[in-house]
Chain A
């Protein structure tokens, strides 16, 4: 086991919390039961690491195996880095359906053509997604495993999530991906964050948006056994609002969106006051929304409503529902 593999193993073991270490090593499968048992988790981390390295030497493991540990941990805990979402676009209409082996061969071949010294690892996860770990090198250096790039891709969709990619390697990776998957180009989906499942849900619209229908089905009871002694005077209104919120944002918990930025650039036009019209510079505006969970808080706004009891009339936040129609008005997330 060479120095680089040792360094990677140390770095990986440092990052994995002790509670999860045994689980990850068990799933790795490169150490025997006896060896796993000999590693006590109550030791200090550096001692554990030394023992682990000596065990790996016994088993004659190499960089390849060590990279697998890191990849296993990253797949189970993708929250460590910032993930950026990209979408692949094709100009011709035929959609190619790909299967894993095909994609894998093509991707490896293309990337190795573009840059000679890379180390690639592909893994298929249970939920039909492909995880790729890439360590970049160049003509003078061996592949640097301490700073790998991770890519997650669902084969039948055009979306790709990337973490840890430098600008130097970006065009190479994109070209290899696009050629391997059979698309014609790739563009930025303007969506990034730490929680990859939220990004995936948002992009692939896996959380269901219900469209308003003229005969709405009754909502499921949110409280399991409503107390017969408690009655809400505005029960119908409350139900109407909950339905409106569910139609706009879905019945389950919405994905966690923390920041949304709207950029507007338009020509100013006002009918009454002509002084500002016809300027050359367009009017620009930026609106930023920040929250710990934007969609959840907007959904709560709709269900709680804005009640103004002035002579029996009330206003609700239906304006927001129109603004936030997912399919048309969300130009960019940042």
Chain B
């Protein structure tokens, strides 16, 4: 089992690599297709995984990962638990603007509120962007792919004058105010 490091390999020209981590394996395939179809100017490679750490046998062939997207389905508790476990295995260098959370099912009324709150606290404490996506329709998936691509271009260094650190200060998740008015961090 190997752990990935953000700067251990050389970057390639005009290339961006994203790793989609999802426990169920449902949304990653559609999202990967949508991402690859939408991007024409840059070579985008998508790698799919069910969790971290990644298997060691792909170590040589794996390119430098520019962005790690954790896909969390709020409808299942297992999704959140496995994401938390995977986060522990991720190298700390990635948390400086190279990690993003993608959440589905936030509109569903059957989902208990604590899951979303705890996920927002987690993303807020890690200073990572939290995106909400709708995975049941094709338009939802293509919109999610567009947003992931925007963040990927910045993390891969393809947008001039902007790096992942700038982005995380603009897009990091803020946690809602507590009832007595004090800001939670």
Which A residues lie at the B interface, using CB under 8 A? 227, 229-234, 236-237, 304, 307-310, 312
Residues of B within 8 A of A229 (CB): 36, 43-46
Interface pair B36/A227, CB less than 8 Å apart = yes
Determine the distance from Cα of A236 to Cα of B43 in the docked complex, in whole angstroms.
25
B49 at the interface (CB under 8 A from A): yes
CB distance from A232 to the nearest CB of B (A): 5
**Residue of B at shortest CB range from A310?**
B85
B115 at the interface (CB under 8 A from A): no
Interface pair A231/B45, CB less than 8 Å apart = yes
Interface pair A304/B24, CB less than 8 Å apart = yes
B146 at the interface (CB under 8 A from A): no
Interface pair A227/B33, CB less than 8 Å apart = yes
Determine the distance from Cα of A307 to Cα of B57 in the docked complex, in whole angstroms.
19
Residues of B within 8 A of A232 (CB): 47-49
Residues of B within 8 A of A310 (CB): 85
**Residues of chain B from 32 to 55 with CB closer than 8 A to chain A in the complex:** 32-33, 36, 43-55
With A304-B24, A308-B82, A309-B82 in contact, is A230–B51 under 8 Å at CB? no
**Residue of A at shortest CB range from B24?**
A304
Residues of A within 8 A of B43 (CB): 229
The 5 closest A-B pairs by CB, nearest first: A309-B51, A233-B49, A232-B48, A230-B32, A230-B46
Interface residues on chain B, number (Cβ under 8 Å): 27
**Residue of A at shortest CB range from B62?**
A233
Residues of B within 8 A of A237 (CB): 55
Determine the distance from Cα of A310 to Cα of B84 in the docked complex, in whole angstroms.
11
B75 at the interface (CB under 8 A from A): no
Determine the distance from Cα of A231 to Cα of B63 in the docked complex, in whole angstroms.
11
Determine the distance from Cα of A141 to Cα of B26 in the docked complex, in whole angstroms.
62
Determine the distance from Cα of A230 to Cα of B44 in the docked complex, in whole angstroms.
9
Interface pair A312/B46, CB less than 8 Å apart = no
Interface pair B55/A307, CB less than 8 Å apart = no
* Residue among A227, A232, A308, A310 with max Cβ neighbours from chain B (10 Å): A232
Contact of A309 among B32, B44, B48, B50 (CB under 8 A): B50
**Residue of A at shortest CB range from B29?**
A230
Residues of A within 8 A of B57 (CB): 236
**Residue of A at shortest CB range from B45?**
A229
- 18 more A-B residue pairs beyond the given contacts A227-B33, A227-B36, A309-B82, with a C-beta to C-beta distance below 8 A: A227-B32, A229-B45, A230-B48, A231-B46, A231-B47, A232-B49, A233-B19, A233-B47, A233-B48, A233-B50, A233-B54, A233-B58, A234-B55, A236-B57, A307-B82, A309-B23, A309-B52, A310-B85
Determine the distance from Cα of A62 to Cα of B131 in the docked complex, in whole angstroms.
73
Determine the distance from Cα of A307 to Cα of B81 in the docked complex, in whole angstroms.
12
B174 at the interface (CB under 8 A from A): no
**Residue of A at shortest CB range from B19?**
A233
Determine the distance from Cα of A232 to Cα of B19 in the docked complex, in whole angstroms.
10
CB distance from B69 to the nearest CB of A (A): 14
Determine the distance from Cα of A312 to Cα of B3 in the docked complex, in whole angstroms.
12
**Residue of B at shortest CB range from A234?**
B50
**Residue of A at shortest CB range from B37?**
A227
* Residue among A307, A308, A309, A312 with max Cβ neighbours from chain B (10 Å): A309
A-B contact pairs, 5 of them (CB 8 A): A230-B46, A234-B50, A234-B55, A307-B23, A309-B51
Determine the distance from Cα of A303 to Cα of B140 in the docked complex, in whole angstroms.
26
B1 at the interface (CB under 8 A from A): yes
Residues of B within 8 A of A231 (CB): 45-48
Residues of A within 8 A of B19 (CB): 233
Determine the distance from Cα of A312 to Cα of B86 in the docked complex, in whole angstroms.
10
Determine the distance from Cα of A199 to Cα of B85 in the docked complex, in whole angstroms.
46
Determine the distance from Cα of A308 to Cα of B49 in the docked complex, in whole angstroms.
13
Determine the distance from Cα of A312 to Cα of B56 in the docked complex, in whole angstroms.
11
Contact of B55 among A227, A230, A233, A308 (CB under 8 A): A233
CB distance from B28 to the nearest CB of A (A): 9
Determine the distance from Cα of A25 to Cα of B131 in the docked complex, in whole angstroms.
60
* Residue among B1, B45, B50, B52 with max Cβ neighbours from chain A (10 Å): B50
Determine the distance from Cα of A233 to Cα of B68 in the docked complex, in whole angstroms.
13
Residues of A within 8 A of B82 (CB): 307-309
CB distance from B145 to the nearest CB of A (A): 12
Determine the distance from Cα of A309 to Cα of B82 in the docked complex, in whole angstroms.
6
B176 at the interface (CB under 8 A from A): no
**Residues of chain B from 125 to 163 with CB closer than 8 A to chain A in the complex:** none
Interface pair B85/A312, CB less than 8 Å apart = no
Determine the distance from Cα of A234 to Cα of B1 in the docked complex, in whole angstroms.
12
Determine the distance from Cα of A234 to Cα of B48 in the docked complex, in whole angstroms.
8
B112 at the interface (CB under 8 A from A): no
CB distance from A108 to the nearest CB of B (A): 57
Residues of A within 8 A of B25 (CB): 304
Interface pair B86/A309, CB less than 8 Å apart = yes
Determine the distance from Cα of A23 to Cα of B69 in the docked complex, in whole angstroms.
56
